[in-house]
Structure 1
Amino acid sequence: MNRSKAAGLPRRGARLLAGALAASTVVVGVGTGTATAAGAGGAGPVGAGVCAGSGPLPYSCARPGDLIDVTLGELHPTQAVLGFDQVFYKQGRYGSDRDEAAGGVNKRFDDWCETNGQGEAASVGPGARLDDPASFTCTVPLGQETAESLAPMKTAVVGPGGKLYLTDGHHTLTSFLEGPDGSTRLPVRLRVTDNFSSLSTAAFWQRMTAEKKVWLRDENNRPLGVEQLPSRLGISNFRDDPYRSLVYFTRGIGYEVPDGATEFLEFSWGSWLRGKHDTNAYDLTSPGPYLDLVKSASKSMAALDADAVVDDGRTAAQLGRIAEWNGGKKETGGDFAKLSRPLADPKPGKLAESLDYKARVVRAPECTARITGVRNGPLTVTNGVTCAERAALRGPVTVRAGAALVLTGSMLEGPLQADGAAAVHVCGSSLTGPVAVSRTAGPVRAGGPGCTANSVTGAVVLTGNTGGVQFAANTITGPLVCSANAPAPDNTGRENEVRGPRTGQCAGV
């Protein structure tokens, strides 16, 4: 796969090759050197002058059915929640060497090839990385895709200004981003289902809502506005919905994804299960109680009549309900038995791998004060736990002894200084200005399991912290200086990108 920046645009020779895909809107022939958005699902023509020729074209020239090369950082979510435990399963699997020890290849290469419309991994060289597609091959070469290989591809809609809105694949692509070789620059190929680039922003969201291409509910199933959607991928930019994870683990036991599945199918099941089973009544960090919940929920799903309405007019049959629980097999067989396998098993179940990874996630303290939106001027945290969530802070931030700061999906323009704090967590955020964190008694976390990496423009100095320092996959434009931290900072296997000198304990982080 050619990964030049220009390759981000419609690949003319990689249109749908044979028949209508199970979930596609349109089948388009090989390009003729021009592009319009006036086909089915389109919102109107794109200027012929802009879209003429065979070279790199703007995303706004893409037609339904086009395959486009993108990077993860270019994608805009159309949902605000994820099932974190599903992502944790993928993270556990991607970061494990079990697949290689069994003579196979790491699952993330199979998943990338499938997402790219290229089957599964064929060969994976030593040191292969997802961000270097030349280091591995897929079973279906580029240009030889089939309807079958293209069907599992993730999908996107082209919106105003040529922005790309992801309509399927939030969990998979977030798992790639948070994986061992993940970053916003990681390449992947998507299939365009619609081009609404000629619409105004208001008309775009009206159409997306009318066509059910956006999920506007929060983790408690309450309505959200489009302005509350995350602006980018990364687990820290989403909220956790345990019912979405629950549905994932019932797959093959209580339901199967049907052909022609609509977007957000699993969320519809989750909305229905919310009224039948209380996830708060189960310990979702322990395999036994979690399996009990999966069994109970999946039996409820399988017991539904085929024509029973589950959510938003969709019936159980339309949402893939299985007629016989666990395919008619006992608990000791079928997909339920596979899910139940412990971590010590040569082929552990998804739940065991998810919970093993989940146990590595350092939890942020409970917030006592919250900041959202724009805040101008200095901020001094003197006590409690101040959480800035999707906020824009313009001014210096100081954390006093015994207080804690949690920055999530936020922007900080100004220095950050913490001395003697109880805890400092910075996830999925952008910081401009020097960062100095010293003598923290509790966790210092910037990247790592469950915490999206950050970008910092300025020096980062970590000194004398004693509660553990996780510093992983961040991009630092400036020096990184670490000393007297006990234990030494841990990059959790994901090296930081530092555009400046690294000294002290962070020389190899």
Structure 2
Amino acid sequence: MNGSGTRARLPRSGALLLAGALAAGTVVAGAGTGAAAADPCAGSGPLPYTCAQPGDLIDVRLGELHPTQAVLGFDQVFYKLGRYGSDRDEAAGGVNKRFDDWCETNGQEEAATAGPGARLDDPSSFSCTVPVGQETPDTIAPIKTAVVGPGGKLYLTDGHHTLTSFLEGPDGSPDLRIRLRVTDNFSSLSTPAFWQRMTEQKKVWLRDENNRPLGVDRLPDRLGITHFRDDPYRSLVYFTRDIGYEVPDGATEFLEFSWGAWLRGEHDTKAYDLTAPGPYLDLVKGASKSMAALAPDAVVDDGRTAAQLGRIDAWNGGKKETGGEFAKLGRPLSDPKPGKLAEALDYKARVLPVPACTRTVTGPRNGPLTVTDGVTCLDRAAQRGPVVVRPGAALVVTGSTLDGPLQADRAAAVHLCGSRVEGPVSVSRSSGPVRVGGPGCTANTLAGPVVLTGNTGGVLLAANTVDGPLVCSANRPGVDDTGRANEVGGPRTGQCAAL
């Protein structure tokens, strides 16, 4: 629901108070219609995003946000998700890191309390150290930023990794709320003029996972890890933070991507096993040393120098490999305080591999689709008509809509991620994995009944919205929701009775 969110037209301090109240669950009615609609920004009532001014804080749903980049560093997100899903913080007498991260991102410093059963989607279950209305410039600084575009759509310009981690986390969904700071309001521009302005002001990253140019039509239309491509160099830069570079004050958008573009000419990620901590740590060491060795005035990317991008004065803060941030990064999972790399790789190991596509469907497609062999991938497709998967064939659906039933019997594999199906879903007797949500796979919306029966390759069914009944039986070794319950509108039976 883009452009339909509201904010109150108040003095800046009042805007802060309203945004915090919204984050705490206060309901504010939508803007009215009638005579007052001639000037939608007049008065003191709730107003649309088109009325937001630079510096305003607005309360938003994650599902309202439009990305301004097509790629993420998946391993950075995996680190966050591994940490968010762990009970290590609670076992040590603290609160889970996701509450600290949410409070910081919301301009409220860090978590103060989070009782048993606390959830990000229930703000009454936890508190932050800085109450709403008592924010300072320092606590507001970490709030992520957005630009208001044509039609009041919100375009995220910072925080894609953080907010994707919230959405994919244990209690995340498109309805999870957070505050953003508006940097610009370009809502009066036409769509072509808007993208021209965004490009000129470097508020959009138009390169793909291989650093090749792409058009704005290839940007994702929503958050969720499934909707992005993975850039391993972006993850690499994240792990070199405070070892080879430091985020400078007033950092520009997409700073890490600029470092990643430069590292492509210095280090080949394909020469390293990025599922194993030893080789990955070797890559981080080499890359960070290359960054620190640059002259301050060396041009890194797009005219920006190493100094402007935060090149560190001394590698690892002048400490040896056995100390400093590099040593912290390399701590194993068995350590009382594991390093980011170990937690990222532990979560990464839970992400099911996707078979290579032998046929890919993108964009609109009308008529029945029958998959008889190989691996058919629907990638950002709009399939109108039934989909049938024959024995031995595989189907991978990512970021797509299916207007019709989906039926698979004795398939080799079925992957359904970040998609919507307007019709019944039936998957039976599959010999390989059946994944409907789960690690690395954004949840789906399934508008009809779902039947999963007799599958023997494992079934993941996590965090989805199922409007009809959910029936699961005779699946081996069972059905796993990975701790993220599904929202089911109809009865749940069999193995899915508790999911």
Query: TM-score, with normalisation over the residues of structure 2?
Result: 0.94
Which residue is 2:435 aligned to?
Answer: 445
- C-alpha separation in 1, matches of 2:201 and 2:460: 42
Which residue is 2:172 aligned to?
Answer: 182
Match for residue 313 of structure 2 among 299, 307, 323: 323
Equivalent runs, 1:324-343 vs 2, <5 Å: 324-343=314-333
Which residue is 1:159 aligned to?
Answer: 149
Which residue is 1:74 aligned to?
Answer: 64
- C-alpha separation in 2, matches of 1:15 and 1:276: 48
- Whichever residue aligns with residue 304 of structure 1, its letter is L
Equivalent runs, 1:298-313 vs 2, <5 Å: 298-313=288-303
- C-alpha separation in 2, matches of 1:12 and 1:310: 42
* SS state at 1:79 partner: coil
**Paired residue total:** 478
Which residue is 1:461 aligned to?
Answer: 451
- C-alpha separation in 1, matches of 2:276 and 2:145: 34
Query: Given the superposition, is the C-alpha separation of residues 250 and 268 from structure 1 closer, same or farther in structure 2, using an over 3 Å criterion?
Result: same
Query: Given the superposition, is the C-alpha separation of residues 444 and 13 from structure 1 closer, same or farther in structure 2, using an over 3 Å criterion?
Result: farther
- Whichever residue aligns with residue 102 of structure 1, its letter is A
Which residue is 2:136 aligned to?
Answer: 146
Which residue is 2:86 aligned to?
Answer: 96
**1:9 is aligned to 2:7:** yes
- C-alpha separation in 1, matches of 2:348 and 2:9: 39
- C-alpha separation in 1, matches of 2:419 and 2:135: 38
Query: Given the superposition, is the C-alpha separation of residues 387 and 257 from structure 1 closer, same or farther in structure 2, using an over 3 Å criterion?
Result: same
> Would the aligned equivalents of 2:460 and 2:481 in 1 still touch at CA under 8 Å?
yes
Match for residue 162 of structure 2 among 166, 172, 186: 172
Give the CA deviation at 1:14: 5.0
> Would the aligned equivalents of 2:5 and 2:49 in 1 still touch at CA under 8 Å?
no
- Whichever residue aligns with residue 452 of structure 1, its letter is T
Which residue is 1:360 aligned to?
Answer: 350
Over the residues paired in the alignment, what is the CA RMSD in angstroms? 1.6
**1:114 is aligned to 2:111:** no
Which residue is 1:472 aligned to?
Answer: 462
Q: Give CA deviations for 1:386-440 in whole Å, capped at 9, x if unaligned.
A: 0110110000000000000000000000000000000000000011000000000
Structure 1, 120-129 or 252-261: larger mean CA deviation:
120-129
Which residue is 1:29 aligned to?
Answer: none
Q: Give CA deviations for 1:179-201 in whole Å, capped at 9, x if unaligned.
A: 00000000100000000000000
Query: Given the superposition, is the C-alpha separation of residues 366 and 11 from structure 1 closer, same or farther in structure 2, using an over 3 Å criterion?
Result: farther
> Would the aligned equivalents of 2:8 and 2:44 in 1 still touch at CA under 8 Å?
no
Which residue is 2:269 aligned to?
Answer: 279
Q: Give CA deviations for 1:232-288 in whole Å, capped at 9, x if unaligned.
A: 000000000000000000000000000000000000000000111000000000000
- Whichever residue aligns with residue 239 of structure 2, its letter is F
Which residue is 2:49 aligned to?
Answer: 59
> Would the aligned equivalents of 2:363 and 2:380 in 1 still touch at CA under 8 Å?
yes
- C-alpha separation in 2, matches of 1:120 and 1:395: 49
Match for residue 285 of structure 2 among 272, 295, 319: 295
> Would the aligned equivalents of 1:9 and 1:70 in 2 still touch at CA under 8 Å?
no
* SS state at 1:70 partner: strand
> Would the aligned equivalents of 2:8 and 2:45 in 1 still touch at CA under 8 Å?
no
**1:428 is aligned to 2:418:** yes
- C-alpha separation in 2, matches of 1:49 and 1:206: 27
**1:416 is aligned to 2:416:** no
- C-alpha separation in 2, matches of 1:250 and 1:105: 26
> Would the aligned equivalents of 2:405 and 2:425 in 1 still touch at CA under 8 Å?
yes
- Whichever residue aligns with residue 415 of structure 2, its letter is H
* SS state at 1:9 partner: strand
- C-alpha separation in 1, matches of 2:497 and 2:9: 42
- Whichever residue aligns with residue 345 of structure 1, its letter is D
**1:348 is aligned to 2:346:** no
> Would the aligned equivalents of 2:400 and 2:420 in 1 still touch at CA under 8 Å?
yes
- The percent identity for this pair of structures is 79
> Would the aligned equivalents of 2:60 and 2:179 in 1 still touch at CA under 8 Å?
yes
> Would the aligned equivalents of 1:76 and 1:165 in 2 still touch at CA under 8 Å?
yes
- C-alpha separation in 2, matches of 1:199 and 1:205: 9
Give the CA deviation at 1:490: 0.3
> Would the aligned equivalents of 1:382 and 1:399 in 2 still touch at CA under 8 Å?
yes
- C-alpha separation in 2, matches of 1:74 and 1:465: 36
Give the CA deviation at 1:207: 0.2
- C-alpha separation in 2, matches of 1:430 and 1:48: 37
Query: TM-score, with normalisation over the residues of structure 1?
Result: 0.92
* SS state at 1:12 partner: coil
**1:132 is aligned to 2:130:** no
Query: Given the superposition, is the C-alpha separation of residues 333 and 108 from structure 1 closer, same or farther in structure 2, using an over 3 Å criterion?
Result: same
- C-alpha separation in 2, matches of 1:9 and 1:73: 17
**1:506 is aligned to 2:496:** yes
Query: Given the superposition, is the C-alpha separation of residues 365 and 10 from structure 1 closer, same or farther in structure 2, using an over 3 Å criterion?
Result: farther
Point out where structure 2 has 5 or more consecutive residues left out of the alignment: 17-36
Give the CA deviation at 1:125: 2.0
Which residue is 2:24 aligned to?
Answer: none
**1:261 is aligned to 2:251:** yes
> Would the aligned equivalents of 1:7 and 1:56 in 2 still touch at CA under 8 Å?
no
Match for residue 243 of structure 1 among 233, 237, 240: 233
> Would the aligned equivalents of 1:15 and 1:67 in 2 still touch at CA under 8 Å?
no
- C-alpha separation in 1, matches of 2:389 and 2:404: 13
* SS state at 2:408 partner: strand
* SS state at 1:449 partner: coil
Give the CA deviation at 1:48: 7.8
Which residue is 1:23 aligned to?
Answer: none
- C-alpha separation in 2, matches of 1:277 and 1:420: 43
Deviation above 6 Å: which 4+ runs of structure 1?
Answer: none
- C-alpha separation in 1, matches of 2:14 and 2:247: 22
* SS state at 2:46 partner: coil
Query: Given the superposition, is the C-alpha separation of residues 309 and 183 from structure 1 closer, same or farther in structure 2, using an over 3 Å criterion?
Result: same
Give the CA deviation at 1:225: 0.3
Which residue is 1:227 aligned to?
Answer: 217
Q: Give CA deviations for 1:364-403 in whole Å, capped at 9, x if unaligned.
A: 1111111111110000000000011011000000000000
Q: Give CA deviations for 1:287-312 in whole Å, capped at 9, x if unaligned.
A: 00000000000000000000000000
* SS state at 2:364 partner: strand
- Whichever residue aligns with residue 50 of structure 1, its letter is P
